[in-house]
Chain A
Amino acid sequence: MDIAKKGDWVRIYNIVLTSEERAPQVPDDTKKVSLEMWDKGFLLNDEAKIGDEVEVETYIGRKIKGKMVEINPQYKHNYGEYVPELSYIGRQLRSILEGGESNE
């Protein structure tokens, strides 16, 4: 669904400072890119599609504008992929504690 209606919870995006406007002390690689910002709120426009400039009311009640980039924004962080490199640790420690040998 790419269309949001008034009152929908959405994520918006803004450029705070363009590359030219960045502070003099930032490293070169950072200076090459813009300072970007994301925030979330309830859509105030009657309707909008992804990419539209919209106005939202944030959860605490501030009204801000920005480009709508996501509707019902999701948390996607998780426990990652299995990391096999970690799997020796528990067994190694238990074997040392039980009087077994350490690795060497």
Chain B
Amino acid sequence: MNKDMSYKAVNDRKNEIMKKAVGIDYGTFESKGIAFDYEGMMKKVGYTIDEIKEIEGRTGIGNTPVYELRNLTALARKFAPEGKGARIFVKDEAANPSGSYKARRAAASVYHAKKMGYKGVIAATSGNYGAAVASQAAMLGLKCIIVQECYDSEHKGQPEIVEKARKCEAYGAEVVQLTVGPELFYTFLVLLEETGYFNASLYTPFGIAGVETLGYEIAEQFKEKEGKFPDVVVATNAGGGNLTGTARGLIKAGATDTQVIGASVDLSGLHMASDKQFNKKSFTTGHTGFGIPFATWPDRSDVPRSAARPLRYMDRYVTVTQGEVFYITEALAQVEGLERGPAGNTSLAAAFSLAQELDKDKIIVVQETEYTGAGKHIQPQLSFAKDNGIKVVVGDPKDQVPGENIVLPKDPSYIKVNEIKLDKLKRSFIKNAIANNSDVDITEKDIKFLAEETRKDEEFVKSILDELGVKY
């Protein structure tokens, strides 16, 4: 068996490799044009929410505690206008077996892989998801390989990613570490082809259906404890699966009036595939470097169609700065007695600011936390930032420049979300959809699809198409 293993040859075999590795025929849900049957895909491929609960429950995932953050609420009220300052709660997802909500996301994939007779699972991820897949694989007796983008060309690794490698190895996984670059996908394909393992992608319907239980639990827990659904749920947003799954779960539980707000760390100006800039950032997820491109074109992942489609579910999208998230992480430990990892606290920083816009009797929920430890903690992350020439100062976060400095807010009144204009992202989405389908004629079906994808009406879609000079 002497296959051509060159970059080009392996990429040319992509579809064939992927089909074997996820066992999903995405063609079933495609139509000729831009549209595809998203809900059909979620229904046919995934599991029902009751099945997922059962699968997750078997390995101790879910039913994580909710904490009311009374001191942070009191603090927010000090800086809020009269009568404002919603009650802030957090769902402690760090309590899941692998230390984050990603356990939910991995559960059904690994379960499905086992059921279908795969001997092992592979995932391409530098973050919590690797630990989640490795942990689930250990529980179900499957082999596991995690492929990470970890180092720059000077062989310096982000402390948070190095920690994740350790955690994956602790669960018996093999960890393949790479330097910066999108060709990680090539290594990933080579491994899938060689091993015949299952592609435990973050973006299949299995993964997203797994997160639905998170939204569902939030709805149920609040109904039971507070007698109502939360008014606002804030989700840290990168590839969009966290928000999509949570929102779908809320809707399934009947919490259709709950506002879902996405929050990302502002890393504007930094290029994610740049070797030199790789270690200039202090967040490896939950940032705009993933958040914006994945929201405006979700089908850029390791499967043909992503089940994470955040623009379908977002009511608002806000950014916070690295310094604000570090500050709130320290605050969570200091006044709430909860030491948790920074990436998960992106939505907490946002919630602290958003609570000040809402009436006191409203409920705002931060839907997750993540574990913390050596490397994955504000202290080593800031220490690493300084080693890479980043200035750490105390001041007004408005003065931050990603890649140059980190500004810790002078006091809590300086924590302020920045609004991303959703209509602009929606316009980009439509533009990308057109650019990726330049050879097709736009039909009524496509327009309806674009309206669903952007959560707008058909008039909005048509106005953008007109503006772009696209015939339909």
Contacts and interface: CB of A to CB of B under 8 A. Distances in A.
A90 to B, nearest CB: 4
A38 B143 CA distance: 19
Contact of A80 (B326, B333, B382): B382
Contact of A97 (B74, B159, B176, B181): B74
B174 A62 contact: yes
A76 to B, nearest CB: 8
A40 B175 contact: yes
Contacts of B274: 27, 29-30
B331 A93 contact: yes
A22 interface: yes
A94 B75 CA distance: 10
A77 B375 contact: yes
Contact of A96 (B75, B177, B273, B383): B75
A75 B162 contact: yes
B163 A37 contact: no
B411 A96 contact: yes
Given A27-B274, A60-B173, A97-B74, A85 B394 contact: yes
B143 A77 contact: no
Contacts of B150: 38
B271 interface: yes
Given A80-B159, A83-B392, A34 B380 contact: no
A34 B155 CA distance: 12
Nearest to A83: B382
Interface in A6-65: 16-17, 21-23, 25-27, 29-30, 32-40, 58-62
Given A33-B153, A80-B383, A80-B384, A97 B166 contact: no
A103 B410 contact: yes
A37 B175 CA distance: 10
A38 B165 CA distance: 11
Nearest to A93: B335
Contacts of A76: 162
A29 B270 CA distance: 13
B374 A79 contact: yes
A67 to B, nearest CB: 13
Nearest to A23: B183
A72 interface: no
A21, A32, A35: most-surrounded residue (chain B CB, <10 A): A35
Contacts of A88: 394
Contact of A78 (B179, B375, B382, B392): B375
B436 interface: no
B273 A26 contact: yes
A76 B173 CA distance: 19
B186 interface: yes
A34 B169 CA distance: 25
A1 interface: no
Nearest to A36: B179
B292 interface: no
A50 B81 CA distance: 65
Contacts of B120: 60
A103 B144 CA distance: 51
Nearest to B153: A33
B412 A102 contact: yes
Contacts of B153: 33-34, 36
Contacts of A75: 162, 166
A79 B379 contact: yes
Contact of A30 (B144, B163, B181, B194): B181
Contacts of A36: 151, 153, 155, 178-179
Given A60-B173, A75-B166, A83 B383 contact: yes
A83 B150 CA distance: 24
Interface string B120-162: 1000000000000000000000011100001101010101001
B379 A21 contact: no
A39 B408 contact: no
A20 to B, nearest CB: 11
A3 interface: no
A42 B384 CA distance: 31
A78 B374 contact: yes
B349 interface: no
B390 to A, nearest CB: 12
Contacts of B172: 59-60
B412 A59 contact: no
Contacts of A60: 120, 143-145, 172-174
A86 B330 contact: yes
Contacts of B273: 25-27, 30
Interface string B71-91: 100110011000000000000
Interface string B312-340: 00000000000000110011011100000
Q: Which 10 A-B pairs have the closest CB atoms?
A: A80-B383, A80-B380, A90-B334, A77-B375, A33-B153, A60-B143, A30-B275, A89-B330, A103-B411, A58-B174
Given A39-B174, A96-B411, 16 more contacts: A17-B186, A35-B179, A39-B176, A40-B169, A59-B174, A60-B173, A62-B195, A77-B380, A80-B384, A85-B393, A86-B378, A93-B71, A93-B331, A93-B412, A94-B334, A97-B75
7 contacts: A22-B181, A35-B179, A37-B176, A37-B187, A38-B150, A80-B383, A82-B379
